[in-house]
Amino acid sequence: MFNRSERIAYIYSNSSYYMDRKCKICEKPLKGRTDKIFCSTYCKNQYHKHLRYASKQAAIEINGYLKRNYSILSELLGKNKSQIKIYRNVLEKKKFRFMYHTHFHINSQKKMFHYIYDLAWMEFSDDEILIIKKRK
């Protein structure tokens, strides 16, 4: 008869699950706990560093789109105007990305305003867009 530690060692040595487990980064075989994912702290740190880098890059890219959209809207609106109506193709020619905005608001007439910080746009029809500056 086996004692407890011999039984556990026998189960681990004969189980294909435990023999097939490999490190997520360097593919070395894993030894130790059954829920272990990485072979070393170096591999664990590399994995998490890559995750942080990927999410940071996505945020930088989206923020670039928001800044570009904001500058297009503020250029078209000008300094002295609080609202202006333009055609959609004007924004499309300036490579405005309609998908990127910070938030939206639906007014009492069920019209949706898409905001980028303090500037907003609302689609009147397929062709016309109203650009407004939020009052302080």
Give yes or no: residues 84 and 108 share one domain.
Answer: yes
Give yes or no: residues 8 and 74 share one domain.
Answer: no
Give yes or no: residues 92 and 121 share one domain.
Answer: yes
C-alpha closest to that of 94 among 114, 75, 113: 75
Give yes or no: residues 94 and 126 share one domain.
Answer: yes
* Statement: the pTM of the whole predicted model exceeds 0.85: no
Determine the structural domain holding residue 9 and report its residue range: 1-34
Q: How far is CA 103 from CA 5, 8, 30, 114, in A?
A: 59, 56, 46, 6
The pLDDT value recorded for residue 5 is 65
Q: How many domains does the chain have?
A: 2
Give yes or no: residues 68 and 112 share one domain.
Answer: yes
Give yes or no: residues 58 and 24 share one domain.
Answer: no
The pLDDT value recorded for residue 17 is 44
Q: How far is CA 27 from CA 21, 31, 40, 43, 44, in A?
A: 9, 12, 11, 10, 12
Phi, psi of 15 (to 5 degrees): -95, 125
Average pLDDT of each block of 10 consecutive residues along the chain (136 residues)?
Answer: 63 55 90 89 92 90 95 90 91 93 92 93 88 83
Give yes or no: residues 54 and 26 share one domain.
Answer: no
The pLDDT value recorded for residue 126 is 80
Give yes or no: residues 54 and 13 share one domain.
Answer: no
